[in-house]
A and B are shown apart, each in its own frame.
Chain A
C-alpha cells in the first residue's frame, strides 16, 4: 500500500525535474514576456537610464492598433501580401517536399549524395545568408528567377497559352503553376526541413504493410494512395504548420523586417508591438482553421 503510494509520486517528481529547464523558461521568461508584449502594445513607452516608463496609449489604449489598421498606408498592404504569399507558397512547398521525400525514399544509385544535396538548403538559407542573398542585386538579376531571356519568357507564355486553350484548365490555375515553375528555387529552398520530416515518416511505415498488399496484387499506385498517403497524413498537418511558421519567422519576411525596424530603428515600441500582435493573431487564426480542416482528414494508425 505504502509502496504503491510512493512510486507514482517519485515518478511525478522525477518527471518535473527532467522538464525543469523548460518549466523555468516557460514560466519565468516566455509567459511574462508574452504578457508584457501585450501591455507594451497598449501603451507608450519611454526608456530612461534606470529603466522604462509606460503610459497608457490614447483611445482606450487601442491607439497603436487603430493606427496600424486604419492610418498607416503600408501596413495593411504588407499584411495582405504576407498572407497571400503564404497561401500561395505553403501548398507548393508541401507538395514538393512530399514528392521529394518519396523520391529520396526509393533505392537508386547516388541516393546518399542526392539526400545530402536536398538537405543543403537548411544550411544555405539560414539567417544572415538569406537576408544577404535577398538584398543582393547582382545575383537576383542573374538568379534563376529573373534570368529569363526573351526565349524563356516566350516558352513559358506559349506553354501557358497552350494549357489554357487546349486543356480547358482554369486560367488562374495555369498562371499559378507557371509562376511556381519560375519560383522553383524559392520552393526548393524553403522545403529542407519538411523533406526531412516526410522522409522520417516514410521510413517509419512498416514494410510488412507493403508486403501484404503486394501479395494481394496491389499496384504501386494503389500502394501509394492506400498505404503511404494515409500513413503519412499526420505529417502533412505537422508540415503545413511548420511551413506557415517558417514563412513568417524567416529572415526574408518583409513584414517582420518592417516590425523590427519600427521597434529598433524608429524606436516606436508600442506601435511595433501592436503590428507584431496583429500579424500573429492573423497567423494564429489561419493556423487553427487549417489544423481543424486538415485534422479531420488525417488518418491516425493508433
Chain B
C-alpha cells in the first residue's frame, strides 16, 4: 500500500505534465491551423485555372496549375508602380508618426507639467472616437485648406490638398493618424519602464533634453520602435479608409485592389467581348491573387522584424 502511494506521487505530476503538453500541442496546432487555413485557401485559389473553381473534384490542390492569374494580376495592379508608391507613402507616414508619437510619449513619461493627466486622457479620447466621426470635417478641412486665412489672402483661394499626400503627412506629424493614441500609450509604458539613471547622467553631463532623448532614449527603445513602426506600416499599407478619402485616384495598393476585379473584367471584355458581368469565381480568383501579392511584402517584413516585434511587446509591460 505504502509503495503504491509513493509511486503515484512520483508519476502523477510527470503524467499530468505530459498530458498537458500533448493537449497544449493539439490546441496550439489547431489555432495555427485556423489562422493559416484561409491563407492557404487563398494561395491555392490563386494558382487555379477558372475551370478548377467549378470542378467539384478539386479541393485545395489545383488540378490545372497555372501562373496566369499572377501574370494578369501583376499587370492589372500595375504592381511595380503601386509597390513603389505604397512603399514610399507607408514608410513616410509610419516614420513620421513614429517620431511624433515618440516625442509625445516621452513627454508624458518623463516630465511633470500642469494638466498632464487631463492631456493624457485626451490621448485616450482620440483613440476612442472613431475616425469616421471626424471623417467629413477632415475631408472638408483638407479640401479647402487654409492656415489662419493666410492662403486666401496670398492667393485668393484656399488650397485643395485632396489627391496629394499632404493630409496624411500632416496627420502623421500631429499624432492624428490611425490609432496613434495606441502608439503613444504603448511607447509611454515602454519609456516608463526604462531606468532613469542613464538620462540623468547624460543630463548632468550637460546634454540638452532633446539630445538626451535622441542619443540615449532612441537607441535603447529600438524593439518598441520597430513594433510601432511595423503596426503603422502595415496599417498604412492596407489602409483603404484614409487613402480612399484623401488619395482616391492615386496608384496605391488599396485603391488598385478594390477596383481590380472590375478593371480585369473590362480588359477581358475588350479582348473577347463575351463577358458582360464579373462572375464571382473570376472576381474571387483575381482578388485572392491580388491579396496574396499585397500581403507578400508585409509577410517578408514581418518575418524580418518578428524577433524585435515580440521583444518590444514583451518589454513594454503594459500594466496599469
Contact = CB atoms under 8 A, between A and B. Distances in A.
A132 B283 CA distance: 10
Given A30-B176, A144-B34, A231 B319 contact: yes
B117 to A, nearest CB: 12
Given A132-B257, A234-B320, A34 B288 contact: no
Contacts of A120: 35-36, 302
A280 B31 CA distance: 33
Contact of A114 (B32, B104, B174, B315): B32
A16 B107 contact: yes
A115 to B, nearest CB: 6
Chain A's interface: helix, strand, loop or mixed, by majority?
A: helix
Interface residues of B, number: 101
A199 B104 contact: no
B319 A11 contact: no
Interface in B17-48: 21, 24-25, 27-28, 31-32, 34-39, 41-42, 45
Interface in A126-156: 126-129, 131-133, 135-139, 142-144
Interface in B217-232: 231
A292 to B, nearest CB: 15
Nearest to B99: A21
Contacts of B240: 127-128, 131, 251
Contacts of B132: 249, 256, 259-260, 276
A79 interface: no
Contacts of B108: 19
Contacts of A207: none
B149 interface: no
Given A11-B111, A127-B240, A132-B287, A197 B318 contact: yes
Interface in A266-302: 269, 272-273, 276-277, 280, 283-284, 287, 300-302
Contacts of A119: 309-310
Interface residues of A, number: 99
A263 to B, nearest CB: 6
Given A11-B112, A22-B174, A122-B231, A127 B133 contact: no
B103 A21 contact: yes
A221 B135 CA distance: 48
**Which residue among B133, B240, B288 has the maximum number of chain A CB atoms within 10 Å of its CB?**
B133
Contacts of A58: none
B34 A52 contact: no
B94 interface: no
A196 B34 contact: no
B138 to A, nearest CB: 6
B185 to A, nearest CB: 9
A25 B111 contact: no
A267 to B, nearest CB: 11
Contacts of B210: 17
Interface stretch (B2-10, B68-76, B194-202, B291-299): B291-299
A41 B103 CA distance: 35
B317 A203 contact: yes
B134 A37 contact: yes
B320 A106 contact: no
A276 B133 contact: yes
Given A118-B35, A132-B258, A144-B34, A25 B135 contact: no
A117 B317 CA distance: 21
B34 to A, nearest CB: 5
Given A128-B257, A200-B313, A29 B138 contact: yes
Given A33-B138, A52-B144, A137-B280, A108 B21 contact: yes
Interface stretch (A160-168, A170-178, A182-190): A182-190
Interface string A93-118: 00000001001001010101011111
Contact of B128 (A22, A32, A126, A284): A284
Contacts of A19: 103-104, 107-108, 119
A261 B25 CA distance: 45
B151 to A, nearest CB: 13
A24 B104 CA distance: 11
A40 to B, nearest CB: 6
A255 to B, nearest CB: 9
Top 6 A-B pairs, shortest CB-CB distance: A18-B107, A25-B174, A15-B111, A138-B284, A204-B317, A127-B238
Given A30-B134, A108-B21, 10 more contacts: A12-B111, A30-B176, A34-B133, A117-B32, A132-B290, A136-B284, A138-B280, A204-B317, A234-B320, A245-B128
23 contacts: A14-B107, A15-B113, A19-B107, A19-B119, A24-B174, A34-B137, A36-B140, A103-B27, A120-B302, A124-B35, A126-B235, A127-B239, A127-B240, A128-B258, A129-B238, A132-B287, A144-B38, A188-B34, A200-B316, A204-B317, A235-B319, A245-B128, A264-B245
